Chains A and B, each alone.
Chain A
């Protein structure tokens, strides 16, 4: 099982080695494999959403980064709000602080697999656990339509916010959000055959939701 380490952008110094490993992996996956952007001379990938609003979940195995997620409250600028708002024709662009955008999930190539107990499923369990613990209502974002059945197989309820549309190089994509719930966490843990927490942190566990903004929204 992975150790899912949670830290904020401001705490990334506590994970200097892992952070650097991860930026290199991002370059390998998003630039060299998927060709989302032109290569960077330093061989590392970052974007405008790596800022104080972001919380990171890095899946580690014996110190090696094997999988990842970046979480940002939808009350802040997100990939969906700034780049893909036209994918939300039906549900509107999410803007609530307790809706969490989930991006930058990768798995190292040798551990990619489709099974129920895959590294990806372990990451899903960690993300759901942290979101539930922090009081989030929904978690999701832009994703490939082809892989949408994954959520159903984990026993997660998913709502699309618009129709799928094609993105160059990624095929048909859709913005969809999953319900954060006890049941969702129970189901993904059952798939893994575990009943314990996967979360770890070196500093104080970061707050996912901006409290003041949540009060205003209610």
Chain B
């Protein structure tokens, strides 16, 4: 892998008109680092299922099916950490308190049977999901990726992730809430009352209540706390 490989990939990524073409190209680049497998997916949070969030899937035959059928995303430390990390990380760098949980150890044990021994994850912002991640996997247990290779891989994965969302048409989805509704919802999320919010925004309490009715209706929920949870999960607000 050279710098040229990475920058050439970035320059041509727009030309891929299908997810298959993008996957083929990304796999070829990943193989230059020693990664045979990869998955590009929205990161599931709050009990979301993994399968509907996946954009590109080149995991080993049989592993993805098992992972989804058993809902491993809830317990796999790599997946849990991907929801929390703003920076790329090697699987081995996931905090020990997550890795050492018995359920997680069992999942990682099973993964080795499918040829997934070490890996690297790049996370990025998403318009649609909590965040998006690319996880690269290798059958080598001691695969060394130096600082420069990490940078190349991170750059390529970030462009691949943004392109995949575009190809899926996800980024075109309309934002359901108005700016004012999101502002009011954010104040609720940090514990303010309708009265306090009205004072802060110099609007009447009645208007605050009207905004709350609107965002509850648009999100299809009955309570403000449920609206807060959904809005955070979908990154509509970031209190």
The reply on B132 being an interface residue by CB < 8 A is yes
The reply on B93 being an interface residue by CB < 8 A is no
Chain A binding surface, main DSSP class: mixed
A177 CA to B194 CA, complexed, in Å = 43
Chain B binding surface, main DSSP class: helix
Which candidate, B48-56, B61-69, B152-160, B205-213, is the interface stretch facing chain A? Answer: B152-160
Given A90-B7, A163-B6, A163-B152, CB of A152 within 8 Å of CB of B163: yes
Contact of A153 among B11, B88, B127, B177 (CB under 8 A): B127
Given A149-B132, A149-B158, CB of A114 within 8 Å of CB of B166: no
How many residues from B make CB contacts under 8 Å with A?
42
* Cβ–Cβ < 8 Å partners of B152 in chain A: 163
Given A152-B163, A157-B14, CB of A146 within 8 Å of CB of B236: no
* Cβ–Cβ < 8 Å partners of A171 in chain B: 86-87
Given A119-B179, A163-B6, CB of A148 within 8 Å of CB of B124: yes
The reply on A207 being an interface residue by CB < 8 A is no
* Cβ–Cβ < 8 Å partners of B154 in chain A: 145, 164, 172
Within B206-239, the residues touching A (CB, 8 Å) are 235-238
Q: Which residue of A lies closest to B184 (CB)?
A: A110
Residue pair B171, A153 in contact (C-beta under 8 Å):
yes
* Cβ–Cβ < 8 Å partners of A90 in chain B: 3, 7
* Cβ–Cβ < 8 Å partners of B161 in chain A: 149
Residue pair B186, A115 in contact (C-beta under 8 Å):
no
Residue pair B14, A164 in contact (C-beta under 8 Å):
no
Given A90-B7, A148-B162, A172-B87, CB of A163 within 8 Å of CB of B124: no
Contact of B165 among A144, A146, A153 (CB under 8 A): A153
Contact of B7 among A148, A160, A164, A172 (CB under 8 A): A160
- With A153-B127, A171-B86 given, can you name 9 additional A-B contacts, CB distance below 8 Å? A114-B125, A118-B175, A145-B124, A147-B125, A149-B127, A152-B162, A153-B166, A163-B148, A164-B154
